[in-house]
Structure 1
Amino acid sequence: MPAAVAWIAVAVAIGAPAASAPMAVTGWVLAGMLIVAGRTTRRPTAAIAALAFGLAALGATSAAASAPHRQPPALIEAAHAGRFISAEATTTQTVLPGSESFAVDLASISIGPEVVAISAPARVFGVAPDSELGIGTRIRVTGTLAATPPQDRVAFLVFANGPPITIAASPPGLDWANALRASFRDAAAVLPGDGGALLPGLSIGDTSAVGDELDAAMKRSALSHLTAVSGANCVVVIGIVMLAGAAIGVPRAWRIGASIAVLGAFVVLVTPEPSVLRAGTMALIVLVSLGGGRPVRGLPVLALAVIGLLVADPWLARSYGFALSVLATAGLLLLAGPLTGALGRWIPVPLAAVIAIPFAAQLACQSVLILLDPSIPSYGVLANALAGPAAPAGTVLGLLACLLLPVAPGLGAIVAQLAWVPSAWIAAVAQFFSGLPGSRLPWLDGAFGAVLLGLLSVLVVVALSDRADHAVRRRVASSVIAIVAVGALGASTGTAARTWLTRPQDWQYAQCDVGQGDAVLVRSAGETALIDAGPDPELLERCLGTLDIDRVDLLVLTHFDLDHVGGAGALVGRASRVLIGPSDGPDADELAETLRAGGARVEEVSGGATGTLGELRWSVLWPRSPLRGIEPGNAASIAIAFDGVATGDRGCGCLSSIFLGDLDDQAQALLMATGRIRPVDVVKVAHHGSGDQDGRLYSRLRATVGLIGVGEENTYGHPTREALDVLAAAGTVPARSDRLGLVLVAPADNGGVRQWSERG
């Protein structure tokens, strides 16, 4: 209880920096008063309350002391003014060539002649380095800044205008870990299929090789936690040291000391992510307690670890990763045993434990997970029961291979191949369950949905309790049915009903909410086009169902990145004509053939292709024909424009538009040089609002609405402040799917534009 109070206080303090100091003072005063009252009355509740207020005050004090150093006023002003800066920073993650963004710790920032010392986490966007940068590399980047909200774990976003310049290599204390990670990543890269891509994540938390499709499958099947290093990994590492030491007769104190040293090295190797910090801190507390001969209990250790970490880094209070790690651990400590006992009444106890462990973690975490994705993994417990037992084998063998590769490459490669087997099994389980119908059940989003799901979790635990009789279980069952009806049916019918009653029926453009990806419908005179299909067939299906779209007359796949074509499977057999750009490999060719087999006419197009959609004329403006010096990918995205076709003596009253795919600023400049750019009503902003925009193009387009398909809390920082400034300078209002959900655009009576959004 005191730890929970402290957590809430810290979360409030970092979100309202001006209130953190008064909160700290108030907490210390109340704690002191309660200590005095407790000595007088000798009531234990006074002591507990005093502890809670004291810990809350300690956390608020830490937040108040840290805030000014994270976002100095001079840097806030520079960010708002768009000043050019030069920053020195240290990388806090491995940066691979082609990375769109990476995390750093800022050390100093130069604004003209002024140098501002700083110590704060940041994320750099822009040009990727030509070679790999290990953790701890000292770099210099130049560009502009954007300040984040005060509660964000990242204090600044840096939009670099060029690749980072290396000032100093990683120090020896970190370089050994960089070398181990790199060699293991290279060894896993030659292993086949998803097993090789998943193995580094399973063993050392390195998910850089996990593709979007596998990542989505792991999330849909509730297995993504297996690639986040947690307490289980620390237990395995420490257990090996303690057991091996005992086997050769090493004294207990020496074994504990060696375990602490190995634990520290392990944290450096897997990088100190929030879940790693929580697990490592708990393991350290346990080892120190064992060394002092004191008994160890799980919940006090968890509470002490949470308090210590929140005081050291108050911004963990609003980290989803930290919250999920803590809740999962609490669920295992509190619920795994009772659930095993309850299920053991009907099935063998070992099988009951296999089911109870993931079920306990899911019950504890689901209320927070629903804030990230308003749906419940239907097969999550079963997927974890099948994949979970393979995780320890993959972790131990993978870690052993990681350690062996630099000293015995042949033996290390053999062990890595053995580790591939459980890794491939886990990936196969994820792909299987994510592909089943109804793999995610919709649920009410927001705080109300989280509270409702939390209540449902409590009722499930009550129903499985030994103390629950038949009457209690009947009442619980009735309550569960009612909550499920409100949560699941309300998620679909409530949103659908509101959408149906308020949306403009004469909409011409519809930007679907498909997460980090593009999917925009164009409708005219009974015909429909879809520009890109987003990353997920289920999300696209949901949007098409909401808008009563059964068939698409024209499907345009601007290029073959997963966030633009991942949902195309939903269009097989439903698209009449498909326009594609240049193929980027076998996967693109296979998708084109699948659509063709579904009855679609598939055409590769370039600049100059034209056609009609109802009363609209469409024209492909890019890529140029023939393709000279343009490689498949973002720069070769199809740019397509829609204009009204004259009907008799008057126009159709249609809204004009242009879709820019993922064109970068250089391709945009070349597109503008074609001389075919005209003002439009609607522009689909290029590359989800990345920083690679040519302001001159948007100024010439002078669009009223700028559609931006972007996922909530995406790691790319999209849309960037730079892109939003470009739109503002052009007089274009951004319509972001992360904030607005489904967006509809329709003609206004006065010749203008009407915009409606699902979230107001």
Structure 2
Amino acid sequence: MKQLRLLPAACAVWAATLLALHGNWCIVVPVLALVLWRWQRGQAILCAALSALAIVVTKVRLARAVPLGDVLTGTVISDPSETRGGWLLRLRVPGYPFQVPVFADEPAPSGAEVTVSHGRLTSLTPPDSLAAHVAENFRELVVTTVGPSSQGLLPGMVLGDTTLQDAAEKQLYIDTGLSHLSAVSGSNVAIVCSAAALLVKGPRLRVAASLAALVVFVLLVGFEPSVQRAAVMGLVGLLAVLNSSRMEPMHGLSLAIIVLLFIDSELCSSFGFALSVAATAGIVVVSPLLYRHLAVIGWPDIFIRALAVAIAADLVTMPIVALMAGEVSVVSVLANVLVAPATAPVTILGLIAAIFAQLGPLSVLGAGLLAVAEPFTWWINTIAHGCTGLPLNTVAASPFLVLLAYGWVVAGIIYRRPLLTLLCVIAVLVPRHLETPQKPVHVVATEEDVYPIPPGTCSIVVTEDSPPDYPTRTPEGIPVFYR
């Protein structure tokens, strides 16, 4: 229980920051202190002090957040997101303490300096950072080296760059629970740092090699907020891999939560941050417990470990996904287990290839590494297409139903009834699939009538509007036809 000593403090800081931003924060400190005082006085003092400090930091940031004008100039800090009416950009505005979401009529790459006026992008200065040049050179090498099925995945898995993925490909990975592969996450950091640690001997050299690899990785990828979170969460995961005796993984995770919330108060209400924390906690805490119970099945050890990690990550993140999207992927565990052996080779080979891509004539060596990595990305893409073609790959669900379902799954694993658990899952899902009304074609009069899109829609037909000069898809990847 020693490694949980900072967990109450992390939860207290998270709750205090959330209430300071969105609720009544005045009751946080006294109520928290009173509850913990009867449990442990040291915890009460620590939690109350950190909560009070979190409230002060958040309130100071809110006081600096003066109203913004109609014209905004700032730096794009993440990849743009396509919406029904245009693009969502997230800006860092000089002198403003929070990131600013802005809707614009056209996209802008991460790192670009833009000016937005009344939803129109009036000026754009292309990004001139090292990460932008790295991504551009790597994209060019990828396009000229590998096939179409790998072109979207490689930059995404290596640098978190989804520029080469269209809406349909992005939705494919979302539906199969593989979208995390195309984003810079803690798993990327853990893979890179672990590979560096394996090259040397001795605990101090391993830590030094891991930190050096982390610095190189961040320099190549950039300093976006998601990269900062991934770096911190990846280091926490690395603690579990290296089996550190000085800082247990949960202790490191709790410390990371506190530090990140002090750096960026908005993380308290970020689904991405919640998913990162949950996934990290699931991998370092839940997966070892599941592994011990799954090991008795007698399957190959590498498969059991991959299955334990996939179930643990799904168990702790699916309720958040259900709360966020109202639906979950049923095939995500299967897909993640099948692609697990291909993830590390793509990340490591791709990262080395990205370095060679910056070295002019030596980029031919990078092309050779990408050729070696291409079968792995082909496999991931093939698994995604295969899983999305399975019956009922996504279902509508609430967080409660997800927790209830996974409770039965975990109970089946603990009591060593995997076959019975699998049959129960099939018995629940198959009738639901047979009863789900299928509507493959959604016919509407104009483009404004497209939403809401019925579940199960495979294509949309617009009867009255004139067709554009280029193929059209919705942000969800559904093709739109005109007649």
Amino acid aligned to 2:90: A
TM-score by length of 1: 0.53
8 Å CA contact 1:383–1:430 kept in 2: the answer is: yes
Measure the CA separation in 2 of the matches of 1:561 and 1:52. 53
8 Å CA contact 1:534–1:562 kept in 2: the answer is: no
Measure the CA separation in 2 of the matches of 1:305 and 1:223. 25
Measure the CA separation in 1 of the matches of 2:450 and 2:96. 43
Measure the CA separation in 2 of the matches of 1:355 and 1:469. 15
CA RMSD for the aligned pairs? 4.3
**Aligned 1:510-589 pairs, distance under 5 A:** 521=444, 538-540=455-457, 558-559=467-468, 560-563=471-474, 567=478, 579-580=482-483
Greater percentage in helix: 2
Measure the CA separation in 1 of the matches of 2:329 and 2:476. 23
- 2:136 aligned with 1:182: yes
What residue number does 2:58 align with? 63
What residue number does 1:206 align with? 161
Measure the CA separation in 1 of the matches of 2:162 and 2:226. 15
Secondary structure of 2:391's aligned partner: coil
Amino acid aligned to 2:409: V
CA drift of 1:33 comes to: 6.2
8 Å CA contact 1:220–1:439 kept in 2: the answer is: yes
Greater percentage in strand: 1
- 2:293 aligned with 1:342: yes
User: For 2:396, which of 442, 450, 472 is the aligned residue?
Assistant: 442
Measure the CA separation in 2 of the matches of 1:102 and 1:266. 25
- 2:161 aligned with 1:244: no
Amino acid aligned to 1:58: L
CA drift of 1:257 comes to: 4.2
Cα separation, partners in 2 of 1:579 and 1:286, compared to 1, 3 Å:
closer
Amino acid aligned to 1:11: L
CA drift of 1:91 comes to: 3.3
Secondary structure of 1:425's aligned partner: helix
Structure with more contact order per residue of length (Cα contacts < 8 Å, sep ≥ 6): 2
CA drift of 1:254 comes to: 6.1
8 Å CA contact 1:124–1:160 kept in 2: the answer is: no
Cα separation, partners in 2 of 1:100 and 1:10, compared to 1, 3 Å:
same
User: For 1:220, which of 175, 190, 203 is the aligned residue?
Assistant: 175
- 2:321 aligned with 1:321: no
CA drift of 1:177 comes to: 2.4
Write out per-residue CA displacement over residues 396-424 of structure 1, whole angstroms, 9 at most, x where no aligned residue: 01001001112211111111222222112
What residue number does 2:319 align with? 367
Measure the CA separation in 1 of the matches of 2:99 and 2:204. 37
Measure the CA separation in 1 of the matches of 2:401 and 2:288. 25
Amino acid aligned to 2:139: R
Measure the CA separation in 2 of the matches of 1:242 and 1:259. 5
Higher Cα Rg, which structure: 1
What residue number does 2:91 align with? 104
Amino acid aligned to 2:61: S
- 2:418 aligned with 1:463: no
**Aligned 1:43-82 pairs, distance under 5 A:** 44=40, 46-69=41-64, 71-73=65-67, 75=68, 78=69
Cα separation, partners in 2 of 1:177 and 1:368, compared to 1, 3 Å:
same
CA drift of 1:358 comes to: 0.8
Write out per-residue CA displacement over residues 346-401 of structure 1, whole angstroms, 9 at most, x where no aligned residue: 23233222222111111111111112333332322111111121010100010010
8 Å CA contact 1:274–1:321 kept in 2: the answer is: no
Unmatched runs of 5 consecutive residues or more in structure 2? 1-6
Amino acid aligned to 2:178: L
Unmatched runs of 5 consecutive residues or more in structure 1? 79-83, 108-116, 145-158, 444-448, 497-512, 523-528, 545-551, 570-577, 581-760
TM-score by length of 2: 0.80
User: For 1:231, which of 167, 173, 186 is the aligned residue?
Assistant: 186
Measure the CA separation in 2 of the matches of 1:564 and 1:236. 31
Write out per-residue CA displacement over residues 501-528 of structure 1, whole angstroms, 9 at most, x where no aligned residue: xxxxxxxxxxxx99xxx96646xxxxxx
Same amino acid, percent of matched pairs: 25
User: For 2:117, which of 143, 155, 160 is the aligned residue?
Assistant: 143
CA drift of 1:5 comes to: 3.7
Measure the CA separation in 2 of the matches of 1:105 and 1:553. 39
8 Å CA contact 2:186–2:235 kept in 1: the answer is: no
Secondary structure of 2:96's aligned partner: strand
Amino acid aligned to 1:204: L
What residue number does 1:121 align with? 99
Cα separation, partners in 2 of 1:451 and 1:254, compared to 1, 3 Å:
same
CA drift of 1:195 comes to: 0.9
